Structure 1
Amino acid sequence: MNDWLAIHPGDAPLVVAFPHTGTDLADCEGGFLSPWLARRDADWHVHDLYAFARDLGATTVRTAISRSVIDVNRDPSGASLYPGQATTELCPTTTFDGEPLYAGDGPDAGEIARRRATWFDPYHAALSGELDRLRAAHGHVVLYDAHSIRSLIPRLFDGRLPQFNIGTNGGATCAPALAAAVSAASGADHVVDGRFRGGWTTRHYGRADDGVHAIQMELAMRGYMAEPDVPTEANWPTPLLADPPIGPNLRAILTACLEFRP
């Protein structure tokens, strides 16, 4: 077992994936201009925020590797998920705000291939294996891809992001009933297929006709941690709130996923 890959098998037809909560820069740390910048855009605390999922019987799959090393939620071919919009690459060369992560061009094709074989491929092999196991047992499985992001990032989106951002790639990755149930549990401050329509994981695995219903949830971080106006090395990340206001919604959302039947 890879020490950077944490798999907690459950018996319920739900897999909760954590592709971006890791901060380990592994053997790539020396190549970054700033290790802090290379960690800054992590989905801070999200695996702890959803720790209750295991008590519900869900399977969780998490990589500890930072998205700046390789983003396991990007198309491995390098194709953009959001053509014409600012985004980051399979092996990002900038932060969300556009600051360079490397002094030069970043990793070359050979290095990208090495990182893919070392971290991307094993993560997805594990995720695929758990989905296959649960689909065989239940006839269907829900993949819930858990994310978060700062509420204000002008380079990526205008204004303040809604609290709950549900991605189904225009309804292509899951049954409408699942999207409707997750929307209802999210409350008023949500959007479906807004700026975030679901990353590569959601789009790749979401095959409702084959029994895999995938949905991405991008949380605005203000719902579970304090967000400074300008994140700096001195003030970021802030701790997970002891009683996050969105906690009841998240429990209702995962319960809706567990109760979903095609």
Structure 2
Amino acid sequence: MDAWIRVVPGTSPLVLDSPHSGTVYPEDFRHACDMGELRQAEDTHVEKLYDFAPAMGIAWVEALFPRSYLDVNRNVTEIDVAMLEDAWRGEVASDPKSLAKVRLGKGLIWRITDSGVPIYSRKLTAAEVEARIENCWRPFHEAVGKAIDAAHRRHGWCIHIDCHSMPAVSAPFSTDYPGLVHADFVIGDREGTTADPRLSKKICAHLEALGYSASYNHPYKGVELVRRHADPAHHRHSIQVEINRKLYMDEATLELTPRAARLKADLRSLLAMLLETDPRRL
């Protein structure tokens, strides 16, 4: 295990990753934001919801560092250079979608929390950001890529699930839809480009049969992890799964609620279905 990543190899065609559930805050973070406010950025307890997966032979990759320190679901070019005290030597994103996220304060290194509170009272150095990329971003993506390669090599196909959670109601600075009341699940495949849409819709149908509401590609389509690691033409399917936090936790206290037990059982049912679903035969 890398110092900031937990990896459990698998034997099945499924790979799961949890990029935003980390709660180990590095000493060099040096944030000025209140910890209670900062912790709202976490996909708290997502790793617990899927803790049964390795026993099913499913590979698991988990970030232990927090999302607010470095967001591995953003591209390394999504740098807010205004946050730095010195020059950034790398490439900087120029496409409209990436620029919009950076301006919102939610690039690779967050500037503000979802409610708009500044995270730092200082400028960061380019060396700090480079170190976070080398210690956190690169190892995480390498681990996910290796797990997908291994699963595909064993079975000739792979389903990669990028595991997330979302607040019941979108915060002011979290998405382009502040105040949106979220469905129970949001299933994203970047408009059918990172997975066969029939597979994504099968996930939606399975969840709906269990009594949940499921939205497809709205408001979350999937970002860097599914974009970077998907290749559906060669039977590598990547899908982002967002779970509404009201289904398993108290959003104010961050405590798990009794409803989490039922949710875990239903997630087990979902993964069991996917283990029996060869995307080549949809």
TM norm structure 1: 0.89
Cα distance change of structure 1 residues 108 and 210 upon mapping to structure 2, 3 Å threshold? farther
Contact 1:15 1:58 (C-alpha < 8 Å) held by counterparts: yes
Distance in 2 of aligned mates of 1:120 and 1:92: 14
Distance in 1 of aligned mates of 2:274 and 2:182: 23
Contact 2:189 2:226 (C-alpha < 8 Å) held by counterparts: yes
**Residue aligned with 2:38, SS:** helix
**Residue aligned with 1:124, SS:** helix
Distance in 2 of aligned mates of 1:121 and 1:184: 35
Distance in 2 of aligned mates of 1:112 and 1:24: 18
Q: Deviations over 1:39-71 (max 9, x none)?
A: 321111111111121222101000100011101
Q: Could you say which residue in structure 2 is the equivalent of 1:104?
A: 122
Q: Could you say which residue in structure 2 is the equivalent of 1:91?
A: 109
Kindly report which structure 2 residues correspond to 1:169-208, keeping only aligned pairs within 5 A, or say none: 169-187=190-208, 188-208=212-232
Distance in 2 of aligned mates of 1:87 and 1:43: 18
Kindly report which structure 2 residues correspond to 1:150-165, keeping only aligned pairs within 5 A, or say none: 150-155=167-172, 156=175, 157=177, 158-165=179-186
Q: Report the count of equivalent residues.
A: 254
Structure 2: 5+ residue stretches without partners: 79-92
Contact 2:114 2:171 (C-alpha < 8 Å) held by counterparts: no
Q: Could you say which residue in structure 2 is the equivalent of 1:132?
A: 149
Shift of 1:151: 0.8
Distance in 1 of aligned mates of 2:105 and 2:148: 28
Q: Could you say which residue in structure 2 is the equivalent of 1:148?
A: 165
Q: Could you say which residue in structure 2 is the equivalent of 1:117?
A: 134
Contact 1:6 1:61 (C-alpha < 8 Å) held by counterparts: yes
Are positions 1:22 and 2:39 aligned together? no
Shift of 1:87: 6.3
Are positions 1:212 and 2:229 aligned together? no
2:255 to 213, 238, 247: 238
**Residue aligned with 1:198, SS:** coil
**Residue aligned with 2:241, SS:** strand
Structure 1: 5+ residue stretches without partners: none
Q: Counterpart amino acid of 2:119? A: L
Are positions 1:49 and 2:43 aligned together? no
Q: Counterpart amino acid of 1:163? A: D
Q: Deviations over 1:76-129 (max 9, x none)?
A: 111475664656110111111111101134x34332111101111011111111
Q: Counterpart amino acid of 1:37? A: E
**Residue aligned with 1:216, SS:** strand
Bigger shift: 129-138 or 96-105?
Answer: 96-105
Distance in 1 of aligned mates of 2:203 and 2:277: 10
Distance in 2 of aligned mates of 1:213 and 1:204: 11
Bigger shift: 151-160 or 119-128?
Answer: 151-160
Cα distance change of structure 1 residues 244 and 223 upon mapping to structure 2, 3 Å threshold? farther
Kindly report which structure 2 residues correspond to 1:241-252, keeping only aligned pairs within 5 A, or say none: 241=258, 243-252=260-269
Contact 1:45 1:240 (C-alpha < 8 Å) held by counterparts: no
Q: Could you say which residue in structure 2 is the equivalent of 1:7?
A: 7
Kindly report which structure 2 residues correspond to 1:62-81, keeping only aligned pairs within 5 A, or say none: 62-78=62-78, 79=93
Distance in 1 of aligned mates of 2:73 and 2:97: 10
Q: Counterpart amino acid of 1:226? A: D
TM norm structure 2: 0.83
Q: Counterpart amino acid of 2:116? A: G
Q: Could you say which residue in structure 1 is the equivalent of 2:84?
A: none
Distance in 2 of aligned mates of 1:82 and 1:197: 14
Distance in 1 of aligned mates of 2:161 and 2:135: 24
Instruction: Quote the RMSD (CA, aligned, Å).
Output: 2.0
Distance in 2 of aligned mates of 1:31 and 1:104: 8
Contact 1:81 1:200 (C-alpha < 8 Å) held by counterparts: no
**Residue aligned with 1:51, SS:** coil
Bigger shift: 37-46 or 6-15?
Answer: 37-46
